[in-house]
Amino acid sequence: METSKALPPITRITKYTLIDEVQQRSFVVMFVICALCVFLIRGCYQGNYIVNGQALDAGTIVRTLSKATFHVIGAVVMVITALLSMRIFRRDRNEGMQACILSKPIARWQYVMGKILGLWALSTLFMFILHSIVFLITSINLKVFMPGYLVASILCSINLLFVIIAVLLLSLLMSDIIAFLSVLGVGVAGFVADGIAAASHSQIAQAIVQQSSGHPPSDMTWWKVVYVLWPKLLGVQQLASSLIESESNHGFGPIYPLINVLIYCLILGALLFKRFRNEDIV
């Protein structure tokens, strides 16, 4: 199919997906609650923080809190995106829209692509608005201007794409709630593994391991391979958050999580298209 002919149906399905989701009461409620919670964070910026007996300056407080908020928003929007994605095919099926769309001269891949793009646009916008609230609070109220904050938000949307594709694929293979929990599990396991890896690099942890086993730990064990290949959702968030203060990155290491998640998106996307092509439309 020519690209010029293939695009209009995709954009229309994207538009309908956006409109249908925004009209859902549960979506509006989730959005309002999240926006209110982000507004409530304002109070945290005004507190006095003492670390090792020394009071932190206002700039450090703003930057540290903004970064922490950035990660929390990223993680919460990932969960919300998974919730939105898990029911998308089922709802379309139950409401007759899947049969309506696919009885028109629209290929299945165009339908799936429209759904992915609609959800991605919506969740990215959702996250961008929440991040923008933090950006505006720090810029207007606290006079700390962080232009990288919004760029980081957009970079973080790669994680949302991964979540959407993974949940959509799994929702074709298992019940919606199991699909949601599985992707949530992948995310949580990744976050925990990153935490353990960060801790294991500390001098204390290395000394403990060396003392208990009597020899230095081997460099390449099976769990390390699994860890390296696991979806690096937290890695992408950390890479994005490094843009907030224009932290310098050197070499391949820092962008590895981005490549990792993009490759997962491609592989899972290919599996999703293949699976949906053979799906019975009921």
Partner 1 sequence: MIELNNVTKRYDSLTAVDDVSFSVKTGECFALLGPNGAGKTTIVKMLLDFIRPSSGGLSISGIPSTHAECRQSIGYLAENHHIPQSLSGWQYLLRCAELLDINRSEALDQCRRIVELIGMQGRENTKVGTYSKGMVQRFGLGAALMGNPKLLILDEPTSGLDPIGIREIRQLLDSLKDQGMTIFLNSHLLSEVEKICDTAAIINRGKLLVKDSISAIVKDGETLEDVFVRLVKG
Please report how close the Cβ of residue 108 comes to partner 1 at its closest, in angstroms. Answer: 8
Instruction: Name the token pair of 250.
Output: 């050197």
Rule CB under 8 A: which of 110-149 touch partner 1?
Answer: 110
Q: Which stretch binds partner 1 (CB under 8 A): 81-89, 90-98, 224-232, 243-251?
A: 90-98
Quick one: 75 or 272, whose CB is closer to partner 1? 272
Residues 156 and 236: beta-carbon distance below 8 Å: yes
Please report how close the Cβ of residue 26 comes to partner 1 at its closest, in angstroms. Answer: 13
Give how far the C-alpha of residue 125 lies from the chain's centroid of Cα atoms, to the nearest Å: 12
How far is 130 from 161, CA to CA, in rounded Å? 18
- Chosen residue from 36, 60, 64, 95 binding partner 1 by CB under 8 A: 95
Q: Under the criterion CB under 8 A, does residue 59 sit at the interface with partner 1?
A: no
Please report how close the Cβ of residue 92 comes to partner 1 at its closest, in angstroms. Answer: 9
Total number of residues that touch partner 1 (CB under 8 A): 25
How far is 248 from 251, CA to CA, in rounded Å? 10
Please report how close the Cβ of residue 117 comes to partner 1 at its closest, in angstroms. Answer: 16
Termini Cα distance of the chain = 26
Quick one: 219 or 280, whose CB is closer to partner 1? 280
Rule CB under 8 A: which of 16-45 touch partner 1?
Answer: 16, 20, 23
- Chosen residue from 10, 77, 106, 137 binding partner 1 by CB under 8 A: 106
Single-letter amino acid code for the residue at 113: M
Quick one: 27 or 191, whose CB is closer to partner 1? 27
Q: Under the criterion CB under 8 A, does residue 7 sit at the interface with partner 1?
A: no
Q: Under the criterion CB under 8 A, does residue 4 sit at the interface with partner 1?
A: no
How far is 1 from 14, CA to CA, in rounded Å? 19
| Nearest Cα residue to 114 out of 2, 19, 27, 31 | 19
How far is 17 from 118, CA to CA, in rounded Å? 5
- Ramachandran angles phi, psi of 50, nearest 5°: -120, 125
Strand partners of residue 54: 51
- Chosen residue from 26, 46, 64, 94 binding partner 1 by CB under 8 A: 94
| Nearest Cα residue to 161 out of 131, 120, 196 | 120
Footprint of partner 1 on this chain (CB under 8 A)? 1, 8-9, 12, 16, 20, 23, 94-97, 99-107, 110, 278, 280-282
